[in-house]
């Protein structure tokens, strides 16, 4: 076979071949307390009658016989034809693991997120051994691709979408449908690199929306893929920056949670409440603990420029706070009859004439209530009064009722200013709540314990507040289950 020597082609092939060695991380072993639950590993035994205990470790080589004929190296067209045949099988694997197609073959109804059930006994893949045979007939033995499908698809959640269960049967869970259906039948496939048994194929859909470079290797069992279209596409998609709303995101007085941040605490008094020095001290102590928590976490995300300044202001508001659980106009109404025309003038006069990357106002009331935040949203970006983002915080005691003040509540509300969304209760769909429990039950936007160090910030919230640049398809799908829009 004549080797292609064009510099551009070889450079692309080398880069893409290198990517296959590290395209997917090993299954998560992070402590459940972080919200990233450990993966179930009851899969991938070397033979059909292996015990469940033996199957807990990934196989170093398949040890599984496949029915596919060995295809010797031949002319370029023959290699491309064989690559297409393997990619059609790759598409079948994608359906099983990424698109959760076996959920339609369950004996019972689809289980809730985080649970699994066996598929019907008369199904083609009722025995997990048949799925393993498929995997080893497509991909190079011992490759990260096989291991990733067995242990790490979907990327988030407590268990793989398909795995070996009791009696060697195939069990499936349903947390994420990638909805990826490559048009392999009509795709253009060409050989762009031939390096003594190591190949790179250029794969282009008929729609020409994307081009993927698929590495392959000649093995003792014939040609095998060294990666899957699914993982290659995920890498390509994750390399692109993502924004939830390109027109409105980061338009308010708080952008990403980095740089210098000013919090103006307004210890407000109205007709039914006032403050003592002791109560103000208790609020400031909780706030300080929460800000230390955020600063420490930011370092783990390599955000080393986060700092907070606090300006405390006593103020008699023009509007009583009673019953303002959803007060979208409170930032305007609170200044009626005062020396300030609105929150804009108030914020500018209390910013100490310094420049800050982020500024927000927190109204504190010494009474019972449910705290809330009013971020700058797509509905209000044209109105100056909503540019300055604010929260209304109630210093509620645990004995007063369902809602009470703690460091986690103060930080939960503050994170709304930087783009975080609620991940609990009626702020999500029923399925969204199942998924959030499966993905990150301890995220601070879902869980607010009295000890703030019992919660954390995970992959979705970290992206929304600007600590991560990318968001994978699974997290984008979860956003569709939120009521932030």
The DSSP code sequence of 228-247 is -HHHHHHHHHHTS---S-TT
Identify the three-state secondary structure at position 18. Answer: helix
Banded model confidence at residue 347, pLDDT cuts 50, 70, 90: confident
* Predicted confidence (pLDDT) at residue 438 exceeds the cutoff of 80: yes
How high is the pLDDT of residue 65?
58
Banded model confidence at residue 142, pLDDT cuts 50, 70, 90: confident
Buried b (16+ CB within 10 A) or exposed e, 380-411: beeeeebbbbbbbbbbbeeeeeebbbbbbbbb
**Which two tokens mark 446?**
């879902």
Determine the Cα–Cα distance for residues 8 and 88; give it in Å rounded to an integer: 28
Min mean pLDDT across 183-192, 302-311, 382-391 is at 382-391
Residue scoring higher pLDDT (330 or 13): 330
Share of the chain above pLDDT 70, in %: 75
Mean pLDDT of 16-35: 38
Mean pLDDT of 434-457: 94
Banded model confidence at residue 31, pLDDT cuts 50, 70, 90: very low
Q: Which residues contact 140 (CB under 8 A, 6 or more apart)?
A: 217, 219, 224, 225, 226
* Predicted confidence (pLDDT) at residue 325 exceeds the cutoff of 60: no
Mean pLDDT of 425-450: 92
- pLDDT tens figures, 180-200: 999 999 999 999 999 988 999
Min mean pLDDT across 40-44, 308-312, 379-383, 437-441 is at 40-44
Share of the chain above pLDDT 90, in %: 50
Banded model confidence at residue 357, pLDDT cuts 50, 70, 90: very high
How far from the centroid of its chain's Cα atoms is residue 402's Cα? 30
Mean pLDDT of 119-129: 96
Mean pLDDT of 231-253: 69
How high is the pLDDT of residue 17?
42
How high is the pLDDT of residue 476?
87
* Predicted confidence (pLDDT) at residue 16 exceeds the cutoff of 90: no
Domains of the chain: 7-238 (3.10.450.420), 260-479 (3.40.390)
Residue scoring higher pLDDT (119 or 342): 119
Mean pLDDT of 453-476: 90
* Predicted confidence (pLDDT) at residue 155 exceeds the cutoff of 50: yes
Residue scoring higher pLDDT (332 or 334): 334
Mean pLDDT of 4-29: 38
- pLDDT tens figures, 263-295: 999 998 887 889 999 999 999 999 999 999 999
Residue scoring higher pLDDT (221 or 47): 221
Backbone φ/ψ region at 287: left (φ over 0), alpha (ψ -120 to 50), beta: alpha
* Predicted confidence (pLDDT) at residue 334 exceeds the cutoff of 80: no
Determine the Cα–Cα distance for residues 135 and 6; give it in Å rounded to an integer: 34
How high is the pLDDT of residue 67?
59
Banded model confidence at residue 471, pLDDT cuts 50, 70, 90: confident
- pLDDT tens figures, 36-93: 333 333 333 345 554 433 433 334 445 555 555 555 445 789 999 999 999 999 999 9
Determine the Cα–Cα distance for residues 404 and 397; give it in Å rounded to an integer: 5
Banded model confidence at residue 23, pLDDT cuts 50, 70, 90: very low
Task: Name the average pLDDT for the chain.
Answer: 80
Output phi, psi for 84, to 5 deg.
-65, -40
Apex 114 CA angle, 112 and 116, nearest 5: 75
* Predicted confidence (pLDDT) at residue 152 exceeds the cutoff of 80: yes
**Which two tokens mark 265?**
């605490």
Considering the entire predicted model, what is its pTM? 0.74
Output phi, psi for 231, to 5 deg.
-70, -40
Min mean pLDDT across 87-91, 249-253, 439-443 is at 249-253
Cβ atoms < 10 Å from Cβ of 369: 21
């Amino acid at each position: 076979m004549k080797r292609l020597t064009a510099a551009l082609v070889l450079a692309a092939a080398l880069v893409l071949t290198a990517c296959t060695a590290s395209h997917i991380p090993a299954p998560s072993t992070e402590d459940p307390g972080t919200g990233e639950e450990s993966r179930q590993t009851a899969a991938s035994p070397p033979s059909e009658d292996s015990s469940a205990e033996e199957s807990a470790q990934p196989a170093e080589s398949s040890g599984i016989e496949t029915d596919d004929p060995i295809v010797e190296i031949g002319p370029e067209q023959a290699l491309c034809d064989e690559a297409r045949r393997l990619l059609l099988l790759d598409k079948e694997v994608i359906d099983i693991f990424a698109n959760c197609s076996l959920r339609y073959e369950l004996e019972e109804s689809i289980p809730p997120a985080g649970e699994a059930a066996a598929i019907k006994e008369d199904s083609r893949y009722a025995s997990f051994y048949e799925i393993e045979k498929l995997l080893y007939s497509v991909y190079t033995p011992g490759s990260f691709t096989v291991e990733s499908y067995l242990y790490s698809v979907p990327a988030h959640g407590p268990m793989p979408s398909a795995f070996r269960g009791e009696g060697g049967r195939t069990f499936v869970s349903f947390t994420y449908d990638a909805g990826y259906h490559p048009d392999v039948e009509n795709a253009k496939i060409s050989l762009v690199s031939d390096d003594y048994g190591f190949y790179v194929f250029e794969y282009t859909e008929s729609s020409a929306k994307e081009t993927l470079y698929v590495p392959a290797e000649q093995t003792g069992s014939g040609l095998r893929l060294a990666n899957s279209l699914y993982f290659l596409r995920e890498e390509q998609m994750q390399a692109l920056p993502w924004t939830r709303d390109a027109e409105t995101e980061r338009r308010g007085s708080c952008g990403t949670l980095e740089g210098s941040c000013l919090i103006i605490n307004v210890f407000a008094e109205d007709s039914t409440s006032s403050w003592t020095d002791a109560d103000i001290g208790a609020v400031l102590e909780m706030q300080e603990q929460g800000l230390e928590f955020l600063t420490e976490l930011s370092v783990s995300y390599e955000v080393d420029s986060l700092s907070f300044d606090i300006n405390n202001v006593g103020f008699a508001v023009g509007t009583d706070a009673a019953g303002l659980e959803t007060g979208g106009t409170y930032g305007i109404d609170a200044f009626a009859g005062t020396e300030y025309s609105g929150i804009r003038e108030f914020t500018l006069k209390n910013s100490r004439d310094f420049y800050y990357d982020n500024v927000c106002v927190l109204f504190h009331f010494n009474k019972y209530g449910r705290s809330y935040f009013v971020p700058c949203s797509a509905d209000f970006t044209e109105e100056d009064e909503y540019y300055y983002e604010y929260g209304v915080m109630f210093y509620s005691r645990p004995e007063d009722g369902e809602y009470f003040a703690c460091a986690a509540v103060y930080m939960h509300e503050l994170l709304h200013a930087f783009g975080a969304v609620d991940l609990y209760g009626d702020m999500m769909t029923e399925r969204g709540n199942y998924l959030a429990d499966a993905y990150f039950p301890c995220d601070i936007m879902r869980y607010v314990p009295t000890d703030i160090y019992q919660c954390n910030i995970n992959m979705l919230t970290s992206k929304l507040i600007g600590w991560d640049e990318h968001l994978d398809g699974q997290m984008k799908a979860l956003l569709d289950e939120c009521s932030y829009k």
